[in-house]
Amino acid sequence: MNAGYTRAVLALGSNLGERNDTLSVAVADLVDPPEMRLLAVSPVVQTKAVGGPAGQPAFLNMVITVETSLPPLDLLRHCQTVENKHLRVREVRWGPRTLDVDIIVYGDLVRTDETLTLPHPRAGERAFVLYPWSVIEPGARLDGERVSELASKAADFPDLVPFDGFGDFDGAPTAGAVE
């Protein structure tokens, strides 16, 4: 890691519109400012919606690792600005969305407050975050456990499907979900 920069893990998800295109452009938007440096991009996986209203379209999810000179709350604001650029609407908690960006970890920072909790409080239970993260950082740990082991124990692990990027629109692939 470079001096003045902190390593962070960001999880991205989308279940509305052209999900794969949204994720691709969002990665570019997230790392566009000079305060952000892209380290790695995970493969994309498709999952059923976890939590929130029933009947939501499936999500595409991925993880990126970055180095940033932004303090945690500024990084959160930056992520929310990118979500808004992609027309994120916050009407229903865990409802359908064009883009969701979560800060999973920010260095070794542990923080609990109403604005930002780090590490992300539900990351250790979500294979759709843990599995892509484990692919780009096989030795990664969260709360002292290997991310890959947490992924294999997560309730949603059996529902993960690799996504090849073809035929995606409105949360339903017309082709390309590899089962």
Q: Which amino acid is at 119?
A: P
Assess whether 168 carries a catalytic annotation: no
CA distance 33 to 10: 15
Two structure tokens written together for 156: 């949603």
Q: Which amino acid is at 136?
A: I
Assess whether 32 carries a catalytic annotation: no
Bridge pairing between strands 168-169 and 172-173: antiparallel
For residues 154 and 130, the answer to whether their CB atoms sit within 8 Å is: yes
CA distance 114 to 98: 24
CA distance 45 to 104: 17
Assess whether 122 carries a catalytic annotation: no
Of 88, 126, 156, 168, which one is the catalytic site residue?
A: 88
Q: Which residues contact 102 (CB under 8 A, 6 or more apart)?
A: 10, 11, 79, 120, 123, 129
Assess whether 97 carries a catalytic annotation: yes
∠ Cα 128 133 137 (to 5°):
160
Of 7, 21, 37, 102, which one is the catalytic site residue?
A: 102
Q: Which residues are known catalytic residues?
A: 88, 97, 100, 102
